[in-house]
C-alpha cells in the first residue's frame, strides 16, 4: 500500500513539476520579450515618432510604453537617472558627453510642428563629485552661467531636493517676429545619497517666424515642470566623494 502511495505521489510530483517548468518557460519567454530594448527592435515595430525613429535617441528609451500622453521614459547610459522624454524629442550628440558612470550630459531638442514651439534641453548628471554636494556653490555657479541674480525656488520631493529659477530673454537687435524665449534652470540634489546631483537647463521658444506661435510663460513652465519633476535618481552604492 505504501509503495502504491509513493508511486502515485511521485507521478503527481512529476506532473506538477512539469507544469511548473512549462510555466517558468513561458514566464522566461515573456520576460525576454519585455526585456527587448527599443534600440534592438525593428524601427517599423516602434512608435512612429522621433524619439524612437531617430537611431541615437532610441538608445536611451526604456520601453515603448507611453508613460504620459506624449511622453516616454528615458534612462541615462550611466544608469544614474530616468526622466520623461517627449515623443518629438531628439538626442543631440554635439551637446552630450559621458565619462563612465560618474558623469554624463544629455542634450536634446523637442519641436512641436503644430504649436511651432521648440524646447532645447541639457541634463548633466554627476556622481561621487564633491562640488555637486554643495547647494550654495552649485547655485552660485548656475546663476553666473545664466546671468541670473535672483533667488531659486526650493522644493523637496521623494528622494531629492529641487532648486529652480527662470528668466525671460528678449533678443535685442533682432528682426525676428518671435524675439523672446523662456529659460528654466537649476539643480537637483539627491536626499538619499551624498555627492549625487543633476544640473539642468531648458530653453523654450517659437522656432519659425512664418508659422503661428502663441507661446506664453504658463505654457513654457508647464512643459518644463513636467520634465524637471519626472527626473528620478536610480541610486548607486554608497561611496565617498570623487569615487573613494
Answer yes or no: do 103 and 224 share one domain. yes
According to the model, what pLDDT value does residue 174 have?
Answer: 75
Residue 177 has pLDDT above 60, yes or no: yes
Residue 183 forms beta bridges with which residues?
A: 167, 203
Name the least confident of 8-17, 66-75, 112-121.
8-17
Give me the phi and psi of 94, to 5 degrees please: -70, -15
C-alpha cell at 202: 531648458
Answer yes or no: do 118 and 73 share one domain. yes
Residue 206 has pLDDT above 80, yes or no: yes
Nearest to 219 by CA among 202, 200, 230, 204: 204
Nearest to 172 by CA among 163, 180, 164: 180
C-alpha cell at 175: 528682426
According to the model, what pLDDT value does residue 171 have?
Answer: 84
Question: pTM, whole model, 2 decimals?
Answer: 0.80
Residues of the chain with pLDDT > 90, as a percent, come to 73
C-alpha cell at 135: 547647494
Give the tens place of pLDDT for each residue, 30-50: 444 456 899 999 999 999 999
According to the model, what pLDDT value does residue 227 have?
Answer: 98
C-alpha cell at 123: 541634463
Contact call for residues 25 and 31 (beta carbons, < 8 A): no
- How far, in Å, CA of 220 to CA of 214, rounded? 11
Answer yes or no: do 198 and 86 share one domain. yes
C-alpha cell at 46: 516602434
- The pLDDT confidence band at residue 136, using thresholds 50, 70 and 90, is very high
Domains contained in the chain, number: 2
C-alpha cell at 31: 520576460
Mean pLDDT of the chain: 85
The domain in which residue 30 lies consists of 1-35
According to the model, what pLDDT value does residue 137 have?
Answer: 95
Q: What is the CATH number of the domain that holds 148?
A: 2.60.120.1690
C-alpha cell at 51: 524619439
Query: Residue 40 domain-assigned?
Result: no
Answer yes or no: do 144 and 107 share one domain. yes
Amino acid at each position: 500500500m505504501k509503495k502504491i502511495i509513493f508511486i502515485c505521489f511521485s507521478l503527481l510530483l512529476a506532473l506538477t513539476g512539469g507544469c511548473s517548468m512549462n510555466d517558468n518557460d513561458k514566464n522566461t519567454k515573456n520576460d525576454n520579450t519585455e526585456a527587448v530594448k527599443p534600440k534592438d527592435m525593428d524601427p517599423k515595430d516602434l512608435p512612429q515618432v522621433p524619439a524612437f525613429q531617430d537611431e541615437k535617441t532610441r538608445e536611451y528609451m526604456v520601453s515603448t510604453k507611453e508613460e504620459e500622453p506624449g511622453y516616454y521614459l528615458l534612462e541615462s547610459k550611466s544608469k544614474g537617472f530616468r526622466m520623461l522624454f517627449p515623443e518629438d524629442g531628439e538626442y543631440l550628440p554635439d551637446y552630450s558627453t559621458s565619462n563612465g558612470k560618474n558623469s554624463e550630459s544629455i542634450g536634446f531638442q523637442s519641436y512641436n510642428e503644430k504649436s511651432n514651439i521648440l524646447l532645447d534641453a541639457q541634463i548633466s548628471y554627476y556622481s561621487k563629485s564633491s562640488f555637486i554636494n554643495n547647494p550654495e556653490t552649485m547655485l552660485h555657479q548656475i546663476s553666473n552661467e545664466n546671468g541670473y541674480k535672483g533667488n531659486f525656488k526650493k522644493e523637496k520631493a521623494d528622494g531629492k531636493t529641487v532648486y529652480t529659477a527662470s528668466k525671460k530673454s528678449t533678443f535685442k537687435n533682432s528682426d525676428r517676429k518671435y524675439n523672446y524665449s523662456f529659460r528654466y534652470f537649476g539643480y537637483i540634489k539627491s536626499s538619499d545619497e551624498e555627492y549625487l546631483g543633476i544640473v539642468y537647463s531648458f530653453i523654450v521658444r517659437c522656432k519659425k517666424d512664418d508659422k503661428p506661435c502663441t507661446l506664453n510663460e504658463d505654457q513654457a513652465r508647464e512643459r518644463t515642470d513636467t520634465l524637471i519633476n519626472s527626473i528620478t535618481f536610480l541610486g548607486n552604492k554608497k561611496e565617498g566623494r570623487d569615487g573613494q
